[in-house]
Structure 1
């Protein structure tokens, strides 16, 4: 019996990054597909048939004959069955090893155009998870904001561009991904800066409302923006770029309810209302670079960015009283992210030994309210 070949995430990521023709066939149930998916993939709702052993589950699926096919499911088991059926038709087909769980660690990058002289900004995107981290560099110095990938990713990017990482920052205590910031700082000797809080159980340099960091030809300024979490900060670079963490997204705002009682949610909603008004009062032309996106990130090298002016127009519903805002916000809160309590506790301690990230982090992020 012919063995069905598999493909690892790194290879598929490289294919997509280099524009190699490939058909990605997603065989998960529709509800799972709607949560998160690989950009450009095709969905066929045959999971139940495959699980039941239906040997004809893919008889009506037509794909290009001379393009490799990669089948995908949640963990890589049903996709093997699907690949076997397509292989019997004479197609070049692979099953994605580890499925969407493994794909949660796949990433791509985009250069962010900026008017800042002698400043480069690189957006690093977890394509399935939607986590966005950043490298900002000037005159060979670089800082990393919200590192969500293995530290080797940032080390390799810094080496490729000839940058020395001198600062590593987080915007808040994350609940949807493991923060790699502490490990990255230890690996590079960079200063680790986190919002001043009693939540973190390891050494770091506290970020306060007075924090400013010189970086080559520019300056980073910390802005307290509590609401999503009590310790949330945004970072303003050179008066023209705002790294908004989970406070502002390209089409929504951060949720205030995670790990909070009813009274705490109300308190955080009030704080969020004030933080949003602070940020939306900044110049309309200010670029906003968020900490997440709710959609799979295509391999298109197009940065996920908006402006204060565009957000002010989209978020007209936040320009109401604190009470009216809280009522509207609470009616919009989505389901909680997977494993958010476990991830939060791990990020508090900063020790991930014995942890398999793709098991803990699997699933879409649900941080935004729009």
Structure 2
């Protein structure tokens, strides 16, 4: 079964059971609703093991592992026992490209959240009077083209909030495909043509505009895009229950400390927005279900529920630097691609795995 076929089944809420047979040590991301069974050792020995004990519901069973080989063994053995089993082609590596969407209205604008469920990346299409801007494109450009076409919207600009370290940006490819402006925060990292966006700049579309708010810390150029102070597209600076990490640009301990101070300043600045402002981040830290629910929160909720956001600068810096998670897989190579504007033929090998851009 292809990723697109499984994605379609889950989006349509049709009966399907996803059976994840990886060892627990190999599970850093999952498919929403998957049943996790540590069957790797048994399957490698040609046995179903614990899989034989499962009371599986009627309907197809899709087996999944890292790249598909062990899952194929499970499929063969399950079929021999009368189960309607199929293997997910390419396993979790290929699933990292899967996506779903939801849509809402904010300040008379339509906002489509394009959610890369296999990676946790969130991107956005923001529309006013049939003109649209895409923020942080992270799935195939053709996906956005199709979503825009279905709604009768015209793409006028594509914007990234920063140079990404966990996934390959699709923004340059999408802008080229649609003949739209490519916008990046002012910086000297990107080595290809783009329109620089500085603090306070307005990106006009339809009857409204996005306003750039420089929010450094995760990276020096990190920028939040504000929609009438009713929504903040925060990239990797502020998440639903955590903040960005300040270490992925490397450097000395002193340089990381300096960026953590900038991050505190940026988070504090964002939390001064009106309490009802919607915070729409660039990532979440878990698999995104096919439930149509917008992933966002309010400034007020973050103030009340995210302990890091309430700390004074010194305590914030100490806590953030003490809680740095492992680096995202292949992040140095991904950053290099994003700085050069390059895109590999098959991005799944570089991008597979958790995004790890947050500090909680």
Shorter-chain TM-score range: over 0.9
What is the aligned counterpart of 2:92 among 95, 100, 106?
100
| TM-score relative to the length of structure 1 | 0.95
Secondary structure in 2 aligned to 1:221? strand
CA contact (8 A) 1:167 1:193 kept: yes
Question: After TM superposition, which residue ranges in structure 1, 4 or more long, deviate above 6 angstroms?
Answer: none
CA contact (8 A) 1:50 1:57 kept: no
What is the aligned counterpart of 1:60 among 53, 60, 63?
53
CA contact (8 A) 1:176 1:343 kept: yes
| TM-score relative to the length of structure 2 | 0.97
Distance apart, 1:52 and its partner CA: 3.1
Secondary structure in 2 aligned to 1:311? helix
Counterpart of 1:160 in structure 2 is: 150
CA contact (8 A) 2:162 2:219 kept: yes
CA contact (8 A) 1:285 1:309 kept: yes
CA contact (8 A) 1:259 1:341 kept: no
Point out the more displaced range, 311-320 or 260-269. 311-320
Query: Alignment length, in residue pairs?
Result: 359
Distance apart, 1:55 and its partner CA: 5.2
Counterpart of 1:149 in structure 2 is: 139
Matched, 1:177 2:181: no
Matched, 1:72 2:69: no
CA contact (8 A) 1:130 1:293 kept: yes
Give the unaligned 5+ runs of structure 1: 1-6
Counterpart of 1:338 in structure 2 is: 329
Counterpart of 2:243 in structure 1 is: 253
Secondary structure in 2 aligned to 1:152? helix
What is the aligned counterpart of 1:14 among 8, 12, 19?
8
CA distance in 1, matches of 2:309, 2:238: 12
Distance apart, 1:345 and its partner CA: 0.2
Distance apart, 1:271 and its partner CA: 0.3
Provide, for residues 177-200 of structure 1, a one-character-per-residue CA deviation record: whole Å limited to 9, x for no partner.
Answer: 000100111111111000111100
Counterpart of 1:329 in structure 2 is: 320
CA contact (8 A) 2:280 2:297 kept: yes
Provide, for residues 233-276 of structure 1, a one-character-per-residue CA deviation record: whole Å limited to 9, x for no partner.
Answer: 00001221110000111111000011322121101001001001
Counterpart of 2:298 in structure 1 is: 307
Matched, 1:49 2:39: no
Secondary structure in 2 aligned to 1:137? strand
Counterpart of 1:89 in structure 2 is: 81
CA distance in 1, matches of 2:145, 2:136: 14
Counterpart of 1:3 in structure 2 is: none
Secondary structure in 2 aligned to 1:112? strand
CA distance in 2, matches of 1:121, 1:285: 17
C-alpha root-mean-square deviation of aligned residues, in Å?
A: 1.1
Provide, for residues 137-159 of structure 1, a one-character-per-residue CA deviation record: whole Å limited to 9, x for no partner.
Answer: 11110000000011000000000
